[in-house]
Structure 1
Amino acid sequence: MSETAALNGADFRSEWEGRVAFITGAATGIGLGTAQAFADAGMKLALSYRNEDDRAATEQWFASHGHAKPLFIKLDVTDREGFVAAADEVEKTFGEVHVLVNNAGVSVFGPTDEASYDDFDWIMNVNFGGNVNGIVSFLPKIKAASGRRHVVNVASMAAFLPGPQAGIYTASKFAVRGLTESLRYNLAPHGIGCSLCCPALTRTNAWKSAQKRPDDFAESGFAPAKEGELEQFGTAFELGMDPYEVGAKILRGMTLQDGLILTHPEHGVDFAEEYMKQVKALPIEACPPGRARIEQLRRDAMRAADEGLVIAMDDLT
């Protein structure tokens, strides 16, 4: 096992003990693994969930490991009023709120050219809209808090690598990537860290998302899965990384103030291919001095923002 893989939440206890974190989709999968790593680091937790059985199992894990019972909040991340109420409840219970992890999402696959409005609306509302709702609801409280603070948006390796059966899912994760990488610059002047986490194959039940489709978005353009097809797809997830390891790497990335947290080492070849594809697509020609100056101003502004300076529109021209 690598040194990074061997890390656990307790390794970062001195950095995060007593900090208050809200994690969405925290009763299963990566959300639960993150909650477990955070608990081992001594953090106080508020966890959103949808399923009562999952909540009960999560509560049992905390009790059996000697951790304080988290504040459980039943929440549909597309519910903006519910998100505002959740933020108020966390603040009322714990006082300051220091960490937000937007993790909840759905994994639904099918040919994009056959997708319906309901397919687009459901997946984008959860995977991108859930992040938006978390940010708008919780950031005022995090800004008002003191000490170490952080926002983590959990996307996916699909934020970099598209696939033929994952067009809407990929679009939602690309959107989360763009949002997070820009938000990092805005939060730096407030002393708040911001990370994009892009896990790959993880041992979760994410493949069951298609079976939990809300009635409000029932009109799918995708053909129903063939008998046993989803279950066969789910066997791939059994080979995935342990969710706790993903959570420990998120905690490590937060501690190091990493803007990008990549948890799986196996995608180097994919990044190299994507990089070369982009470089090859660049035209080989001279750039006019005026355009070159504007782009250099943009680069300078990004570096300055990363150092914590507030960037105004005038700084870009």
Structure 2
Amino acid sequence: MSNENGPWEGRVAFVTGAVTGIGLGVAQAFSDAGMRLALSYRNEKDKLKTAQWFTDRGREEPLFVKLDVTDRARFAEVASEVSEHFGEIHVLVNNAGVSVFGPTDKATYDDYDWIMGVNFGGVVNSLVSFLPYLKEATGRRHVVNIASMAAFLPGPQAGIYTASKFAVRGLTESLRYNLAPHGIGCSLCCPALTRTNAWTSAMKRPAGFGESGFPETSAEQLAEFGTAFEVGMNPREVGDKILKGMTQQHGLILTHPEHGPDFKEIYEASMAALPDEAVPEARLRIEELRRDAMRKAEQGIGTDLADLT
């Protein structure tokens, strides 16, 4: 994709879950790059603290919008509000999520519906609500969906969380090819351990999803689990790396260098699992058509089903 769409200064960005953690790190990095911001939040105290960060630096105050990312009607209202306030919307960052863990074999429908509803459904709701506005805008535009290294690395206590992040990964990698012909960049960001309060998600479970099959976890146990996050990467560093990846039009933004051994293992296991046998020419041709369609999309050339046979 072309990297000649102009600077980020003056571009309007909407970021979900943006008053703490990685969302706040992204907002700060974007602000330092001269972008104008609309930020979603749930907690009033966190919002006030974030607003003070902008005031202390003499920056334009963001448009703060209260939002539950599972609320589709409210999402549509927010997209309209942001458009009316700024005129155009150029950047969309889907960051809001919950980090909830427990043995997948004991999970209930409520466990699945809550975690998938926020982590995957929230991204879906954002895309449906905001993409029409990004397509109408001009100049440099970009979508970033923030998943997790769990999009590549499953864990024994993170089955539903992992499923939600795999889903965001698959959606984003496909969406990139759909948005390229519109001149809109698209990136998947997969951070690893970051200094956030994500571990408190289990304490914020909505009453409507109260029937959990996961073993009850005490506040003390959660706090102990939270100590792991204290050694994580500074969220602002994650935000800076996301901005850099957007600028360089990277489809995949990895922020933590410590996972090289994991990717090597995935690669080697995947290659070893491939059957060592001849492939019919007709099947080879279909796969090459798919690869060609992906290359064309990267160049901003649209494709349809007829191009795949």
Q: TM-score range by the shorter chain?
A: over 0.9
1:94 equivalent among 79, 86, 99:
86
Which residue of structure 2 lines up, in the alignment, with residue 58 of structure 1? Answer: 50
2:14 equivalent among 4, 22, 35:
22
Residue 232 of structure 1 aligns with an amino acid whose one-letter code is E
2:238 equivalent among 246, 259, 280:
246
CA distance in 2, matches of 1:54, 1:168: 27
Which residue of structure 1 lines up, in the alignment, with residue 130 of structure 2? Answer: 138
Equivalenced residues, count? 304
Q: Is 2:216 the counterpart of 1:216?
A: no
Which residue of structure 2 lines up, in the alignment, with residue 5 of structure 1? Answer: none
Q: Say which SS state the counterpart of residue 150 (structure 1) adopts.
A: strand
Q: Say which SS state the counterpart of residue 55 (structure 2) adopts.
A: helix
Q: Deviations over 1:45-81 (max 9, x none)?
A: 0000000111111111111122111100000000001
Q: Say which SS state the counterpart of residue 228 (structure 1) adopts.
A: helix
Q: Is 2:63 the counterpart of 1:71?
A: yes
1:149 equivalent among 136, 141, 146:
141
Which residue of structure 1 lines up, in the alignment, with residue 257 of structure 2? Answer: 265
Normalising by structure 2, what TM-score?
Answer: 0.97
Q: Note the aligned Cα RMSD (angstroms).
A: 0.8
Residue 124 of structure 1 aligns with an amino acid whose one-letter code is M
CA distance in 1, matches of 2:156, 2:44: 34
Which residue of structure 2 lines up, in the alignment, with residue 204 of structure 1? Answer: 196
Gaps of 5+ in 2: 1-5
Residue 181 of structure 1 aligns with an amino acid whose one-letter code is E
Which residue of structure 2 lines up, in the alignment, with residue 233 of structure 1? Answer: 225
Q: CA deviation at 1:226?
A: 3.8
CA distance in 2, matches of 1:227, 1:215: 18
Which residue of structure 2 lines up, in the alignment, with residue 44 of structure 1? Answer: 36
Q: Deviations over 1:178-201 (max 9, x none)?
A: 000000000000100000000000
Q: CA deviation at 1:227?
A: 5.2
Q: Is 2:120 the counterpart of 1:128?
A: yes
Residue 39 of structure 2 aligns with an amino acid whose one-letter code is L
Which residue of structure 2 lines up, in the alignment, with residue 293 of structure 1? Answer: 285
2:248 equivalent among 256, 272, 279:
256
Residue 295 of structure 2 aligns with an amino acid whose one-letter code is R
CA distance in 2, matches of 1:193, 1:305: 11
Which residue of structure 2 lines up, in the alignment, with residue 159 of structure 1? Answer: 151
Moved more, 286-295 or 159-168: 286-295
Q: Deviations over 1:120-164 (max 9, x none)?
A: 000000000010011000000000000010000000000011111
- Misfit runs of 4+, over 2 Å: none
Q: Deviations over 1:93-146 (max 9, x none)?
A: 000000000000000000100000000000000000010011000000000000
Q: Say which SS state the counterpart of residue 105 (structure 1) adopts.
A: coil
Residue 217 of structure 1 aligns with an amino acid whose one-letter code is F
Which residue of structure 2 lines up, in the alignment, with residue 185 of structure 1? Answer: 177
Q: CA deviation at 1:84?
A: 0.4
Which residue of structure 2 lines up, in the alignment, with residue 4 of structure 1? Answer: none
Normalising by structure 1, what TM-score?
Answer: 0.95
Q: Deviations over 1:215-235 (max 9, x none)?
A: 110110001114521111100
CA distance in 2, matches of 1:174, 1:32: 24
Which residue of structure 2 lines up, in the alignment, with residue 112 of structure 1? Answer: 104
Which residue of structure 1 lines up, in the alignment, with residue 3 of structure 2? Answer: none
CA distance in 2, matches of 1:243, 1:64: 19
